[in-house]
């Protein structure tokens, strides 16, 4: 079964490959944006999934959305406090 998380990870890896492979920056950005979209959808379905929040922090930082990344980092801290 393919999940939103699987698809997000695939796009994140494709962005990494694009960044290293010398392809256009737009290709990297497209994969990062798609991974972000999928991760946000996954978060809306399961807001308690820590892995999604870790991925969101990573993606948001790479895309330069630092305020949003900090918000996701704070939600991750709150989830950690629940345990």
Q: What is the pLDDT along the chain (83 residues), one digit of tens a residue?
A: 889 999 999 999 999 999 898 677 789 999 999 999 999 999 999 999 999 999 999 999 999 999 999 999 999 999 888 86
DSSP helix/strand/coil, 23: coil
Q: How many CA atoms lie within 13 A of 17 on its CB side?
A: 7
Q: Tokens representing 83?
A: 């345990």
For residue 71, give the H/E element and its range.
Answer: helix 66-82
**Predicted pLDDT of residue 12:** 95
CA 51 vs. chain centroid, Å, equals 9
- Considering the entire predicted model, what is its pTM? 0.88
* Neighbouring C-beta atoms of residue 54, cutoff 10 Å: 14
Residue matched to tokens 């990494």 = 16
């Amino acid at each position: 079964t393919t999940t939103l998380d699987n698809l997000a990870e695939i796009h994140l890896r494709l962005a990494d490959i694009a960044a290293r492979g010398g392809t256009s920056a737009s290709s990297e950005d497209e994969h990062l944006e798609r991974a972000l979209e999928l991760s946000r959808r996954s978060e809306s379905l399961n807001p308690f999934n820590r892995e999604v929040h870790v991925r969101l922090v990573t993606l948001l930082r790479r895309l330069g959305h630092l305020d949003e990344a900090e918000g996701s980092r704070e939600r991750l801290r709150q989830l950690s406090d629940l345990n």
